[in-house]
Structures are given as C-alpha cells and as structure tokens.
Structure 1
C-alpha cells in the first residue's frame, strides 16, 4: 500500500537551510552518510525535522509540548489520515555529490513550486516539488 503526503515547501526549505548551516549534525540514520539531512519521520504523524544541531525551536503552529521544529504533512485526502505501517525514520541527505537535494529545493522554490510531495510505496520513497493549482475564481 502506498501513502502520499504533501508539505509546505517554504517550511521544509527552512529546515533544510538550518541543516546545511549547522556546524554539527545528529548521528546518521542506518547506512546514510554523515552531514546535513532532512529527517522524514512517521510515527504519531508524518513530519520533517532537521538533523542540524542544535535543533531549531518549535514553530508557532506546533503543539505546546513540542521541543523542536517540525514540518507536519498536510494530508491529500480523507483516505490517508495517517501513515500506514511501522514507524519510519528516513534521512534525506542534502549535500551529497551529484544532484544535491538542497539545490533542488532552492530551485523549486525559486521557480514557483510551493509543495513537496512524498510518496511512500513499500520500501521506496519519492520526493517531488510541485506548484499547487490555484482555486478557480467563481462569480
């Protein structure tokens, strides 16, 4: 079964910029390389965090008990209220040789994308930046 979630690109980019600017980073997840990364977490919700240390403080729209900033998924529809399956923690490296995710996020934001779509399908993950369509003007 697959799950699709979207995130506000500007908020995710803010976390990514934090990770890139940080002088220290949390330990790598599984076999991921060291260095700046976005952490995709699926447990009681689906959200991104920075692995940069120290962590940024929670945002104004986060629950009072939050201790660090997280960007929570905006659900695409009522059929996907939560992540299906086991808890998940995936590190998305930002500055690896080749196509760097940080540059892809920056370019997407500059060219008008406003959402980051994450698709989880079994053991595969796809990340795509999109521009959400504007609502039609009625009247």
Structure 2
C-alpha cells in the first residue's frame, strides 16, 4: 500500500464524558449508532471493555444483502479517557476521550487497510463517529 500513515477522525459531542463513555461502550447503545449510513444497522454487539477483553459488532445492510463482524481485542483501557485495540486483521486503533464540562472530544486514530482508499476509509469512520455524536446528543 502506498501510505500506511494512520488516519484520524474526530468529533466533539455535547455531553459529559461519563455519558459519552457509556454510550460508546454498552452494547445496547452500540447497536443504535454503529453504522455509517441509514441503510445499514448493527443488529448485534458484544463488548468486554477491559485490557484483554474482546468485542464484536455485526454491521449489516438493512436489506440483508451484506454483513460483517467488526471485532478485536482491547490492548489498553483507561476509564473515560483512552481505549486502544487490535482488530482481527492486526490493524490497531487508538481512541481518546477528553471531557470538559458538557462537551467531550473523541479522537480515533486507526491503521488503514489496503482495499479501500484512505478517503473512503476516513469518510466511513467519520460517518460512524458523526452517527455516534447524533445519537448521544439526542438521547
């Protein structure tokens, strides 16, 4: 691949870090926001949020035409501050949560894969993060 530089997406959510962390990590919430567009959904999610814990979210087209499991193992978890994990294909992701009052900045940095363009990957991850922001602020 031409560029293995990690890709970063970010959003500031108008909610305290305690709520942001809860909505980010609880499967019942994950199933409500973990999709990049309205024609996709997350019908199943499991999450053992601790170092060495595993997670899996099924991401599926609503028309049933395609689905996949987004899964991995947590490398490091600092409550309401930081998460790092390794996906099934060996790529790593780092997420920081910095809360200040009623706003929380979430920054995700991930290793790119080699199938889709960097722009497509960044757009997809940003769309999911934007969906998380919309869901968290609206509930």
TM-score strictly above 0.5: no
The TM-score, its normalising length taken from structure 1, stands at 0.27
Q: Which has the higher strand share?
A: 2
The TM-score, its normalising length taken from structure 2, stands at 0.27
Larger of the two Rg values belongs to structure: 1
